[in-house]
Amino acid sequence: MSDLRDIDLIEDLRVRPAELSWLEFKKDNVDPDVIGKRCSALANAARIDGQDCGYMLWGIDDATHEVVGTRFDPDGQRVGGQELQLWLAQQLQPSVAFTFRVIGHPEGRVVMLEVPAATSAPVAFKNIAYIRIGSTTPKLTEYPERYAKLIDSLRPYTWEHGIARQYVTGDDVLELLDYAQYFRYTKQPLPDNRAGIFERLLADRLIGKDVGQRWNITNLGALLFAARLEDFEASLSRKAVRLVVYDGRNRAATVTHRLDGKKGYACGFEGLVDYINDLVPHNEHIGRALRESRPLFPELAVRELVANALIHQDMTVTGAGPQIEIFEDRMEITNPGRPLIQAERMIDLPPRSRNEALASLMRRMGFCEEQGSGLDKVVAEVELYQLPPPLFREGDDSMQVVLYGPRTFANMTPDERIRACYQHAVLKFLSGGERMKNATLCERFGIDPRNASQASAVIKKAQHAGLIKVADPEHPRAGYVPIWA
């Protein structure tokens, strides 16, 4: 963090009309227990007041807010033989990533203690949580209304609203983000002045205000609209989409194409999907009257699954991003992080995303279906093409979807036939409570009705696997529904 930003931050804090619950000025009071209580109180008060951090500054007069300088040396301070900062870290629970910074302000030496707002639970010092009220630091439990407000305000860490680039100028924002694409995809007219541009970016939390009339670019803004992801930290740039195409059926085959995404997801999404569809082989399909060329994988399915991989990945998994691998007979789309719902229920249950702001904006821009209507359409497209059923597979720390190329019923594996039967029953049930029947499953597999016994055999195996059941036990021929229906 630059000294210039710290000086601007001090100036921003000094102009406040009085000390706030999350802000305190000191001259030279360096009592360790006082500092520990303040850490607890500032973290809790900052969360209640909607601030990212609380601050304690030494070298600022608490009455006039003038810079008077301080001799306090946080690095040299010791408590019972321990360094002050190590001692504080041991006394604060949950763990708090506080920092001390010594700032050479033009008017004197200032020491700043920055304490992040509480996130998962009230911050306690020596097992007691504190709060700031005026100039006092009472126990939080003595003020139940504030305790209740703090609990309501606590929320898990939201990766999208974290900071990708801090303390940048307006010119930097316009260079680092492809703001024109933001207005295009959100179908808003491009403002004719900078103030209007920043107002809209701020409203969607793609940027945030920093001190000294500068800006912060959020992870959401960078990941979606970065003109060049490499302009940001490696932890973010490594979340770029990677595409690998193999000339064969396994990873030992020759790699014919490799693409590492350079732009933010929104800026590069259309180009990526078009590029994939151009690379995918096409098969000749005989329709009712004409021959037509169809891609190996349905375009709608590819688009939806790529969007899902971007949206539902676990952003806290470092060094990994979505990966798309295309083989001779299948496409594998993998994203970091285990899914939040069971793989077999992904078709019917509404998606649960770790990244709600990202998901909402992607849907608003039309990159994916409305919530809860995506994967069922993928399966419907697969059925329309009479392809083997997609496989939803959980890894140790990843989620993978596999799309398969054309294969006849005879060439599908027993597991694929059972999975296709279950997915077909789910689609029928989602269509107004319809029931899967032998005839509908024959149509899904492309089985001649004269060979309907083949579909009957698959239905029996799906029942034995505990995936489907008879819809009405008193009328067994009425059809079948998913086991959870």
**For the chain, what is the mean pLDDT?**
91
Q: What's the pLDDT tens digit per position in 429-464?
A: 999 899 999 999 999 999 999 999 999 999 999 999
Say how far apart CA 86 and CA 80 lie, in whole Å: 11
Six-digit token string for 435: 């029931």
pLDDT value at residue 477: 85
- Distances, alpha carbon 244 to alpha carbons 166, 231, 254, 463, in Å: 33, 23, 10, 38
Confidence of residue 286 (pLDDT cuts 50, 70, 90): very low
Q: Which of 252, 297, 289, 249 is nearest to 273 (CA)?
A: 297
| Amino acid letter for position 388 | P
Q: What is the percent of the chain where pLDDT is above 70? A: 95
Calpha distance 343→333 (Å, rounded): 14
Summarised one tens digit per residue, pLDDT across range 340-398 is 788 778 887 777 778 889 999 999 999 876 555 568 889 999 999 889 999 999 888 89
Look at the chain and count its residues: 485
Give SS3 for 330: strand
Mind listing the domains of the chain with CATH numbers?
Answer: 3-156 (3.30.950), 160-235 (no CATH), 242-407 (3.30.565.60), 410-482 (1.10.10)
Compute the average pLDDT of residues 85-91. 95
pLDDT of residue 283: 65
Whether residue 201 has pLDDT greater than 60? yes
Question: Sign of the C-alpha dihedral, residues 119, 122, 126, 127?
Answer: negative
pLDDT at 5 over 70: yes
Does residue 94 have a cis peptide bond before it, meaning omega lies within 30 degrees of 0? yes
